[in-house]
Amino acid sequence: MDMMDEFVQQRWRELQEMQREDERAREEEADLKAETAYLRLKLADSYMRGGKVSRAIAEYKRAIKLDKQNGLFQTRLADAYVAADDIPTAMEAYRKAIQVDPLLADPHSSLGDLYMRYGMLWRALEQYRQAVHLDPERAFYRYQLGDIEERVGMIAEATNELTEACLLAPRVAFYRFRLASMYQQLGRPEQAYVHMQIACNIAPFDDYYLVRLASLAVATGNVTEAIIFLQKAITLRPHNDAYQRLLAEAYLISGREDLHESLCRRVGRLGAYDEECVARRMAEWRVHRSPQSPS
């Protein structure tokens, strides 16, 4: 009986060891599959960088075959379909990525972009909201949500999202510029002026920001400052006739008619594009100028 017990125990130990070896083999196989899938992903990424989109798609598919539950792989495949301009397939791939990994924010953001491209604004809004919900600390997602909210007329909500984007990425001038534009739409030129000034401080060589800041300076009654900003913009773009004409109009508002007439003669007749640019900025001046502004 003792010998039988010992034999049974020995066989039991052998079976346990065989099970452990089997588990180790499965783990090694899984590790090898994961490593191979990752290498496929890297190869596909390199094809994408080299503009070889069809090869990238093939490699992303091979990676997914090895790891079907990887949302990142599905998202990269969808990105490749976008690059190939196969939008219906890209949309389906993004939806698959969301299904595989519901906590991944990026496919929501990218799917929102495609909805936006085709004018499906409310669907885009839903996807951008989900991206922000999943990754609220990413400034770009906040910007995307604010941008779509502005497009559907939710200006107050858009302003809140752009404010968050600016807090998360305080050195991105474009976010400040967009926030300033939203305050301008809300009829709050003072707040718009503050944020546009920050944008100009971050990107001092952006002539367009300076011109928009000049418009807000006029809107808040600071015509002298507007002239300074326009002069800086002209220094950066000395051959821009629209900027020259805007400076001439700023001179007129400030009561310096001689400088206005001289500059208008020098600039001459504007082309259609420059005329449109001047008209847009002048419309802002007329809408937002306060009663105390010089006339």
Structural domains in the chain, sorted by start:
187-290 (1.25.40.10)
In this prediction, residue 290 carries a pLDDT of 43
In this structure, what DSSP letter does residue 153 have? T
In this structure, what DSSP letter does residue 101 have? -
3-state class of 292 per DSSP? coil
Contact predicate 241/271, CB 8 Å: yes
- In tens, the pLDDT along 262-295 reads 999 999 999 999 999 999 999 888 755 444 444 3
Mean pLDDT of 172-177: 98
- In tens, the pLDDT along 7-47 reads 666 666 666 666 666 565 555 455 556 677 788 888 889 99
CA nearest neighbour of 240 among 227, 252, 230: 230
3-state class of 279 per DSSP? helix
CA nearest neighbour of 244 among 202, 281, 284, 292: 281
Question: Packing angle between helix 121-134 and helix 139-151, nearest 10 degrees?
Answer: 150
Q: Please calculate the CA angle 232-225-202 and round it to the nearest 5 degrees.
A: 55
How far is residue 236's CA from residue 232's CA, in Å, rounded to a whole number? 7
The structure's pTM equals 0.81
How far is residue 213's CA from residue 225's CA, in Å, rounded to a whole number? 9
**Which tokens go with 77?**
């495949």
- In tens, the pLDDT along 201-238 reads 999 999 999 999 999 999 899 999 999 999 999 999 99
